[in-house]
Amino acid sequence: MWANFWFVVFPYVCFAIFVVGHIWRYRHDQFGWTTRTSQVLESRWLRLGSPLFHFGALFVIVGHIGGLLIPPSWTRAIGIDDHTYHLVAVWGGAVAGLVLCAGLIILLIRRFAYSQRIRVVTNGWDYLMYALLTAEIFVGMWQTIAINIFGEGYEYRGTISVWFRQLFILQPDPAMILDAPIWYAWHAVLACLIMAIWPFTRLVHVWSIPVAYLARPYVVYRRKHAPDIAPVTTRMRR
């Protein structure tokens, strides 16, 4: 019964919050939709930690997409045998994960220990977000290092990935994930939680990656605020 809650109901609830939350925030809080950059308060450690964290995260995300969405039959079909796949996934994942961890640790120390200034601009959502992100990243690293490198290894593509894809066709089978070591279950639950708080935190800046900038003319001209575009009051009364 609990399995049904955590691995069937809970992911959908979190996803619903994720979607509705984003719509709500985008419509009602454009002013809050920002990276909330703190570089102006502290730059030295950010310049080290932030690129490590972000580039690490990008590679980790790419790895997750590969591992969760692409079934083994596809990789076999293009001539990658399971052993090669496993090696690339584990070692690639470990390197990306270590970079991510290094960045995270630097950013955590910077925010919560090193700089008095940054602690002042840290709000409640930041605390929650950092706690969940840290937990999630360390559980993920534990899977990679303790289970897959030093342990006997676990072929998650036959269970976790199947469950993950089943979520999209609305027929998730919680038994799949229960077969896996408990760390994988934790990893999934924490991921759902992060998804649920996502729209309320600074994580929304992820959706604002400014790729359109590459194709834009340099100088932007705008006509003065035209009344028929957006009523003044709703924007002001937030």
Q: Give the interface with another protein as residue ranges (CB under 8 A).
A: 29-43, 46-48, 50-51, 53-55, 116-117, 119-123, 125, 200, 202, 205, 208, 210, 212-214, 216, 218-224, 227, 231-233, 235-238
**Minimum CB distance to another protein smaller for 120 or for 175:** 120
Tokens of residue 160, six digits:
């976790």
Cα separation of 193 and 202, whole Å? Answer: 15
φ, ψ of residue 172 to 5 degrees: the values are: -70, 140
Burial state string for 102-114 with b = 16 or more CB within 10 A and e = fewer than 16: ebbebbbebbeee
| Between 40 and 78, CB nearer to another protein | 40
Place of tokens 């719509």: 23
3-state secondary structure of 53: helix
Q: What is the C-alpha to C-alpha distance for residues 20 and 62, in angstroms, rounded to an integer?
A: 25
* Minimum distance from residue 129 beta carbon to another protein (Å): 13
Packed helices 182-197 and 10-28: angle between N→C axes, nearest 10 degrees: 20
Smallest distance from another protein to CB 48, Å: 8
CB of 22 to another protein, least distance (A): 14
Of the two residues 170 and 215, which places its CB atom closer to another protein in the complex?
215
Between residues 33 and 138, which has the closer beta carbon with respect to another protein? 33
Nearer to another protein, 73 or 233 (CB): 233
Q: How far is the CB of 109 from another protein (least distance, A)?
A: 16
Min CB(210)–another protein separation in Å: 3
